[in-house]
Amino acid sequence: MTDESEGMVSGDSGEKPVLDRRKFLLGAGAAAAVGSAVLYTGWQHPAPVFVARNQRYDGDLVRTLRDGLTAVGLDPQWVRGKRVLLKPNLVEPSRAWPHRTTHPAVVAAAAEVFQAWGAEVTAGEGPGHVRDTEWALVESGVQHALDAAGVPFCDFNYENALAVVNRGRTSSLGELYFPESVLQADLIVSLPKLKTHHWAGMTAAMKNLFGVLPGTVYGWPKNVLHYVGISRAVVDINASLPPTIAVVDAMLCMEGDGPILGTPKSKGLLAIGRNPTAVDATCARIMGLDPRRIGYLALAAGRLGPVAESKIPQRGERWQDLVEPFDILDVPHLRGLRA
């Protein structure tokens, strides 16, 4: 029995427009090019993850991102002419709490890399706790970064949304509503902040994609997704999206009562990969957590990507040299997550 099959999941706490399935799948070639989880089938391939240490927000993040993306096999020639959508985490931004949200420098660096590779770059977010997305953009500093890069922004909470079949099928949701700009993307780049999470244990690339679902459909703070089970909703969202890769802002992280009220933890890392499941599994190990015991990773293992260490080739730094256990809440559903 492999690591993937050993994941332990605790209990999870009018006429509808439907997107044409052929447009949604974007073609098997595009999916294969980025190692996407679009096709919800057994995962058979290794998924390398690049980790860089000694990173700073005022450092050469463009070079690190470019090196990391190519090291995990993303072909710049494939990117040329594609629609690339950057998805940062802007949950309850506060200038006094920069460890809550993705740093603007990471967003700016990602925009510069993909623009230099000839992509049509946009950014978008649908904050789950804030109805005024414009305020969130300004307070987080991301608005300034996007303006400087000439990158347009899509407000997922209020954009027209279309229903697609739930390809994950782990929750009771038969379909999921995604904004049109999300479904039209050739590649989504999840740009999360690495944090603990008081329900899910951790949040990184996969959980960040809660923010692509519109508040006008799922409410604030998107409790529909909590009711069907956070871990199951995370897997279903990731299984139903266009091709997605991950760039995790793990320079200034959050531990303790995350994802909003935790305390800052400096790590100076960037984690990059074409497969968000593999990236999150690596991040969990760096946090001192067992990814097989993180609910959404246990469900995704072997289906959306690998969780077993043997199937995640390392690029850049060895994760074993970077382990520094994050504080987590001492509550029953989080006990036993330690590696």
Amino acid 36: pLDDT:
39
Q: Where are the beta strands (DSSP E) in 18-99?
A: 49-52, 83-88
Q: pLDDT category, 42, cuts 50, 70, 90?
A: low
Q: pLDDT category, 1, cuts 50, 70, 90?
A: very low
Domain residue ranges of the chain, discontinuous segments joined by +:
36-334
Q: pLDDT category, 129, cuts 50, 70, 90?
A: confident
Enter the pTM of the model. Answer: 0.89
Helices 61-71 and 104-116 pack at an angle, to 10 degrees, of 60
The 10s digit of each residue's pLDDT in 203-238 is: 999 999 999 999 999 999 888 999 999 999 999 999
Which helix (DSSP H) or strand (DSSP E) does residue 156 occupy? none
Residue 219 has which token pair?
């409410």
Q: Which of 38-47, 75-84, 159-168 has the lowest mean pLDDT?
A: 38-47
CATH number of 36-334: 3.40.50
The 10s digit of each residue's pLDDT in 281-311 is: 999 999 999 999 999 999 999 999 999 999 9
pLDDT higher than threshold 50 for residue 119: yes
Find residue 60's DSSP bridge partners.
Answer: none
Q: pLDDT category, 128, cuts 50, 70, 90?
A: confident
Cα separation, 189 vs 28, in Å, equals: 19
Residues 294 and 337 sit within 8 Å (Cβ to Cβ): yes
Q: What percent of the chain has pLDDT over 70?
A: 88
